Structure 1
Amino acid sequence: MAAVEKQPETQEGSQKDETVLSVHDVTVAFGDRTVLEHLSLDVKRGEILGFVGASGGGKSVLLRTILGLTEKRSGTIRIFGVDVGKANDAEKVAVDMRLGVLFQQGALFSALTVLENIQVPMREYLDLPKKLMDELALLKIELVGLSADDAAKFPSELSGGMIKRAALARALALDPDILFLDEPTSGLDPISAAEFDELVIKLRDTMGLTVYMVTHDLDSLFTTCDRVAVLGNKKVLIEGTIEDMLKSEEPWVKAYFRGKRARQLDLESRH
């Protein structure tokens, strides 16, 4: 009897340790310029991983490579255990439907309303009646903190924070397992950025998401991320908790996390 009662805990523990995204020995180059070289990184189920590095260092290149938008020269990328480089079309579609992406600046379609933008993934992957799509899109709009009145607005009528939330709603359209965020708080004022960070944590907890977040925002890294991976010299220099980052003597990591801008951040007050 006791063994049966303990079984769910064991399964839960194994799920938390499950690797849902594995990048192994990946190299990406454009002509003679190598951007990523023999890079490896694992992302665990349910965590919020912050991916940080110097501007132009290849953070967004890795994200686009994971999503299949940029070709790798070598290496392996597995998502939910599927080697996407060797997967057939059906397998790729099955994986794609479990991924949600918020691109930099939101990347909303300017000629579509918020409601129609959110429905784009539904139209691409699902065959649903219009009424049902409308209902689902409105649910996502509410989920990210927008109002039903915002559904009929065009991107040009939205503030920067509203654009991010609308783009997030679109990323959540298919109830993904992994949410990719590319500089989600870029361009937001501190209050809007903090609210967005809180929203990401809430969505992770309520929807069971795994979040891969490319960011340079120190506040987001300190308040939101369970782990941080640092890109440097074309590969992952170090990965671990914020505490690990603060202890690191790697020059770039030390300058970034313990430099002048970081001194205003009180780690203890944020946990």
Structure 2
Amino acid sequence: MVDQAGKDVIIKARGVSVQFGAKKILENLDLDVRRGEIMGFVGPSGAGKSVLLRTILGLNKKQAGTIEVFGIDYEKASDRERLAVERRWGVLFQHGALFSSLTVLENIQVPMREYLTLSPKLMDELARLKIDLVGLAPDAADKYPSELSGGMIKRAALARALALDPDIVFLDEPTSGLDPIGAADFDELIMTLRDTLGLSVYMVTHDLDSLFQACDRIAVLGDRKVLVEGPLSKMLDYDHPWVKSYFHGKRARTVVLDDDAAGRPRPNGAG
């Protein structure tokens, strides 16, 4: 699929509506996610960011609309087609969602055991490669989640999301709970993985630094739909009360001033 800008679209949502009981969360939502980009999703609490992510993954039922991933309508797909799609994505849920009774190595091997037929030795080797890929020390392999710091949990969960060498990774609040240095390091890791592995990244976040530094495009959810999507420059120019407050508020100005002082370019030349 190719959009009007000539970009390869790997997620295409049209007219998506989701509600729980009588409460409408999303209504007639349209969205495109392009290959090779880091796309950030932001919006007020309760706007439906995580609901949309879970709906794309098939974890929430939608009442209307279509969602195509890699050109396949997941809801109407055969079991074989669904399996093929699931092997091409990886997910980092909020707070990591690691299995507490499994070591880091064993957590990373969970997708391998579910979707692949590999020898234990090969799975060990592949899991250790993923541990190295996300910047964890080799001895992290034998640690349990309770023995990890917050930053290590995020990296271990990312290693599990990368277990099957996916084309796209879904990140739900990946820097929440991290200190500013840890969050910045995680953003750098995501950008490096995107560039070296050719990943597409779908990132739900409230972190202004992540939006300003890492994202190629941003989608703002509000009023049960995508209010605006595009590069950061479009967010800064968009005339909507919440968008203006978020991207021009005191915290946003601090991020801009810090970037300007450090001489760091922002995505798409915004600013």
Compute the TM-score of the two structures, normalised by the length of structure 2: 0.93
Instruction: Measure, in 1, the Cα distance between the counterparts of 2:127 and 2:193.
Output: 16
In the other structure, the counterpart of 2:178 is 188
Task: Give 1:86-101 correspondences, 5 Å limit.
Answer: 86-101=76-91
The amino acid of 2:25's aligned partner reads V
User: Does 82-91 or 189-198 show the bigger shift?
Assistant: 82-91
Paired positions, count:
258
Contact 1:40 1:235 in 2 (8 A): yes
**In the alignment, which of 227, 240, 264 is matched to residue 270 of structure 1?**
264
Q: Which runs of 4+ in 1 moved over 4 A?
A: none
| 1:148-169 residue CA offsets vs partner (Å, 9 max, x unmatched) | 1110000000000000000000
Look up the match of 2:55: 65
Deviation string, structure 1 residues 80-119 (Cα, Å, up to 9, x no partner):
0001121011100100000000000000000000000000
**Offset at residue 15 of structure 1 (A):** 11
SS of residue matched to 1:253: helix
Cα distance between partner residues in 2 of 1:15 and 1:111:
47
Is 1:176–2:166 an aligned residue pair?
A: yes
In structure 2, how many angstroms separate the alpha carbons of the residues matched to 1:135 and 1:224? 30
**Structure 1 CA distance for aligned equivalents of residues 238 and 8 of structure 2:** 26
Aligned to 1:246: 236
Question: What's 2:140 paired with?
Answer: 150
CA-atom RMSD in angstroms: 1.3
Q: Which segments of 5 or more consecutive residues in structure 1 lack a partner in the other structure?
A: 1-13
The within-5 A match list for 1:92-241 is 92-241=82-231
User: Which residue number in structure 2 is paired with residue 4 of structure 1?
Assistant: none
Q: Distance in 1 between matches of 2:153 and 2:183?
A: 13
Distance in 2 separating the partners of 1:56 and 1:218: 18
Identity of aligned residues (%): 68
Q: Is the Cα contact below 8 Å between 1:16 and 1:44 reproduced in 2?
A: no
**Letter of the structure 2 residue corresponding to residue 17 of structure 1:** K
What is the DSSP-based 3-state SS (H/G/I as helix, E as strand, rest coil) of the residue aligned with 1:261? helix
- Structure 2: which amino acid aligns with 1:270? R
What corresponds to 1:46 in structure 2?
36
* 2:201 maps to amino acid: V
TM-score (norm 1): 0.93
Shift in Å, 1:248: 1.2
Cα-to-partner distance string for 1:50-96 (whole Å, 9 max, x where unaligned): 00000111100000000000000010000000011210111001000
**CA distance in 1: counterparts of 2:58 and 2:234, whole angstroms:** 31
Conserved 8 A contact 1:15-1:45? no
Select the residue among 9, 13, 18 that pairs with 2:8.
18
**Structure 2 residue identity aligned to 1:197:** D
CA contact (8 A) 1:59 1:214 kept: yes
Further displaced range: 219-228 or 82-91: 82-91
The 2-side partners of 1:180 and 1:211 are apart by: 6
SS of 2:76's partner is: coil
Superposed displacement of residue 270, structure 1: 3.2
